Amino acid sequence: MLKRHNMIFIIALLMGSSTQAYSNTNIIQPFTAYYSSTWNLGLTITGEATRQLTQLDNGQWQLSLDAKAMMASLQEQSLLAIDDEQILPQAYNYKRKVLSRKKQLAIDFDWQTGKATTTTSNSWSMPIVAPLQDKLSVQLQLRTDLSQRPYGRFAYKVAAGGQVETFNYEVKGTEKVKLLLGDFDTIKVERLRNGTSDRETLIWFAPSLNYQAVRIQQVEPDGKSYQLDLQSLE
């Protein structure tokens, strides 16, 4: 366990030993990860973020992200059922505020009826079939799958914006990431988007830290960017 450091601030998923061998590590373990965040919104804002996975009394799991800066905040929460490292979301909540602009969304998954209900300013339902992830749980599923196959491409069906989308990821290679916490050999993963999107999302996973994300970076088409760097892990 890495002790929490007395350090600075944050921001919105990593290869220690070898990329050649498969990992028998159990990825689904409770953790609390503290990050510094950097928001480039035309001016640079620093903040802090916490990513946490906890197991509830009923056996389900809760994955959350809470990021804050002076003029921006982001909260995501996913309630999960996990069976043999296969993740099945039960509910998803998203809140974001950047300056005066706000966005809020909730998704409830009803696997008995095979429907998911999305709520924003109004509500609507869509049919769903497992396996299916939400925008937060997909990161945990990617960590799990990457520990078993740290190369190639991964594709996931994700409930997003009232429809089911395919999220594609590709391992781009290995890279050493220098953080205040230390230097880590990582697996660099890029989310692949269709040709009409200029948004770029990169994630650096550290196998020596049970494939935790030590850095997450997103660059929007307008040049605004958001980055999380791991500061400590419990």
Q: What is the pLDDT of residue 196?
A: 65
- Identify the bridge partners of residue 101 per DSSP, sorted by sequence position: 98
CB of 92 closer than 8 Å to CB of 136: yes
CA distances from residue 191 to 35, 111, 134, 222 in whole angstroms, order as listed: 21, 27, 15, 18
Nearest to 132 by CA among 100, 161, 178, 166: 166
Q: What is the pLDDT of residue 225?
A: 87
Q: Measured between alpha carbons, how far is 98 from 86 in angstroms, rounded to an integer? A: 34
Note the pTM of the prediction, 2 decimals.
0.83
Q: Measured between alpha carbons, how far is 38 from 35 in angstroms, rounded to an integer? A: 10
- Tens digit of each residue's pLDDT, the chain (234 residues): 333 322 222 223 322 223 333 334 588 999 999 999 887 776 777 889 999 999 999 999 999 999 887 777 889 999 999 987 789 999 999 998 877 788 899 999 999 999 999 998 888 899 999 999 999 999 999 999 999 999 999 999 999 877 899 999 999 999 999 998 999 999 999 999 876 677 899 999 999 999 999 999 998 888 888 889 999 999
How many other CB atoms sit within 10 Å of the CB of residue 42? 10
